[in-house]
Structure 1
């Protein structure tokens, strides 16, 4: 059971999974940092909801692939609260929806570079403080597509597979400092930037193929993220947690 407030940074928190995660963590008594790149109005609405419910929220703009932005983001959080306890890296970088036959190297390498650059920058930025305090939670949003391919999603799936491996290496290295690093890997999630790009017919097919007969919802993912942010998961690290209604059973 969670007993102390934690300061939680959620990247890409203006909508979808990120917004649901900010609200869920705040409801559990944590302070939340609502990060966005260019969605100030939506991010402020999330923060307003948190404050209206009695929580503490701060909106900070920043591009997760920009080193200066990420340094400023973490510095802003530390200036406000004196620490950062939890990183939830949710922000999605752009990717093409295409077959391998039509995928050129520039498209694939751009997605790989952005995905890993963001994860590397954020992890480098938050770890020193966590190591000093000997406490921290690193949570990264991936996708079931890193293990179960789907037509057109090769760039996203390959980039997230690289992220999955990155997290395992980080988890092994930081574990002696009482810091955990875990991956949350949802299937297609309703009301997100990715699902909005899919035709309604395909979304229905994906729901029908899921044993629980529906797509994931942002709140489903948020609750799993909140578990890894708390003390109940203190001895769980390097894990890959599917949130997919039984679509993939590793």
Structure 2
């Protein structure tokens, strides 16, 4: 049998992409910003069961109520995917609540802002890197075995254009985001035989989010990103723009798309 025939046979044995209307989605970081926008748009697109994860009960309950307006059954789980034990707990609970995790979206944020590397204390480097890079890795580690048992699943991670293009003030941030990009692309290659797709979205500025408010609130980063915004001749994206791309990646329309890092930045750069 030729390699082409073997590949075709392997693909034919997979169950095929699930319709959104038949899927259960786990949105880590789903209580605000891009994560919340993605959860709401997935609900609007017909996903019947959604679990959102965040660290604050009050914010989680508010987000849950917003998403439920779109008609989905929504559960809020309080957890921190930076902690491996918590990541496994989240996956186990979501697997049971959803009847199987078909979609994992990881859109976590960290309380960091761009600073020139020479101004970053050495003691802060590890905290910044791990807070940014590890949640998506921990969640994929917890969820992938569950998806493999069903030989299907979709993972969408959120990173940043800082992981593709060197930007002053983002040496550590960019290293962490580049880690998410390469991690996602690699698991896409490793998991494709099991019918699992993995892609990463890499926005730059995203208006109306806590992260952008933090980095544009003053100092070095405010000047840096004010200049960047001037290059977004198509407009600086908002959370709903990124969410729309995430929903597409989760849908059967993207069933042949995996291992890609997609920039949505209004023209700030082409990376």
The CA distance in 1 between the partners of 2:164 and 2:54, in whole Å, is 28
In the other structure, the counterpart of 1:229 is: 250
Alignment RMSD (CA, Å): 1.9
Q: How far apart, in 2, do the equivalents of 1:119 and 1:224 lie?
A: 18
1:4 is paired with a residue whose SS is: helix
Q: Quick one: which of 47, 54, 61 aligns to 1:36? A: 54
TM-score (norm 2): 0.85
User: Which residue number corresponds to residue 5 of structure 1?
Assistant: 22
Distance 1:240 1:96 in 2: 22
Q: Could you list the per-position Cα deviations for residues 45-83 of structure 1 after superposition, in whole angstroms to 9, with x for gaps in the alignment?
A: 221122223222110110011122112211111222220
The alpha carbon displacement at 1:153 in A equals 2.3
Are the counterparts in 1 of residues 51 and 98 from structure 2 also a CA contact under 8 Å? no
* Deviations, residues 90-110 of structure 1 (Å, cap 9, x unaligned): 011333531011224432222
1:206 aligns with 2:228: yes
Q: Secondary structure at the match of 1:157?
A: helix
The size of the alignment, in residue pairs, is: 248
> Residue 59 of structure 1 corresponds to which residue in structure 2?
76
> Where does structure 2 lack aligned partners over 5 or more consecutive residues?
1-17
| Change in 2 beyond 3 A, CA 1:27/1:169 | same
234-243 or 103-112, larger mean C-alpha shift: 103-112
- How far has the Cα of 1:204 moved from its partner? 4.4
- Consecutive unaligned residues of structure 1, counting only runs of 5 or more, are none
Q: Distance in 2 between matches of 1:103 and 1:76?
A: 38
Residue equivalent to 1:186: 203
Aligned counterpart in structure 2 of residue 172 of structure 1, from 182, 189, 197: 189
TM-score calculated relative to the size of structure 1? 0.92
Q: Distance in 2 between matches of 1:155 and 1:171?
A: 24
Following superposition, the deviation at residue 2 of structure 1 comes to 4.3
